[in-house]
Amino acid sequence: MQTASHSPAIVWHQATVTRARRERQNRHKGMALWFTGLSGSGKSTLAHALEEHLHQLGCHTFVLDGDNIRHGLCRDLGFSIADRQENIRRMGEVTKLFVEAGLITLAAFISPFQADREQARALAGRENFVEIYCQCPLEICEQRDRKGLYQKARAGLIDDFTGISSPYEEPVNADLVLNTAELSVEACVTRLADYLQPRVLNITRDAS
């Protein structure tokens, strides 16, 4: 059966307002900052803290948070391997659009599988994608778990829980590794900001 993407009726419409024009207006590049790690490793905390820092600098940002997304766009998905892969596929496509819009997009997802993270990188463009591994031992993540999810998973009340009954594949070539068990949120944000400064910020409005 022919899919919609192959239909001759579907034609890409080229916009006159380009990504480059949006970036010049914003004075920074569009970029995907992809936070990955176990539940409780600090992904969302760091994404929102970094967004606050960037917002105060005048940057145009948006956080895509794993839990928030499952309240809407991905509310039809569960936590099986197939559903996790579809969740990240969708978020990769959304992230690609946000980068094209010239936003610094902070995506915070467990995203447990290396192949899915690589797919998200390919969609956004390798030069537009920063993989940030929030590295934290499982026992520390469990100690931080205010929702009691790990306890429920160990009791068999939650199926397919990453780190307990479902695997997590650690990044092999992350752009940044943050040891969130040892570094404070402030220290992590400083490291992230230092990394982004020469790569993302300070595009002049009259740049070619």
Q: What is the pTM of this model?
A: 0.89
User: Which pLDDT band holds residue 96 (cuts at 50, 70, 90)?
Assistant: very high
The answer to whether residue 9 is domain-embedded is no
Tell me the CA end-to-end span of the chain in Å, nearest whole number. 45
Mean pLDDT of the 75-89 span = 90
Rounded distance between C-alpha atoms, residue 46 and residue 133, angstroms: 11
Closest CA to 134 of 180, 195, 66: 180
In-domain check, residue 80? yes
Q: Which residue in the list 39, 41, 44, 111 is annotated as catalytic?
A: 111
Q: What is the pLDDT of residues 118-165, one digit of tens each?
A: 999 999 999 999 999 999 999 999 999 988 999 999 999 998 899 999
User: Is 165 an active-site residue?
Assistant: no
Where is 95: in which H helix or E strand? helix 81-100
Provide the residue range defining the domain that includes 31. Answer: 27-197
When divided into structural domains, the chain yields a total of 1
| 3-class secondary structure, 13 | coil
Any idea what the CATH number is for the domain that residue 107 is in? 3.40.50.300
Residue 161 falls inside a structural domain: yes
* Per-residue pLDDT tens over the stretch 159-186: 889 999 999 999 999 999 999 999 999 9
Tokens representing 129 are: 């994608």
Q: How far is it, in rounded angstroms, from Cα 123 to Cα 208?
A: 25
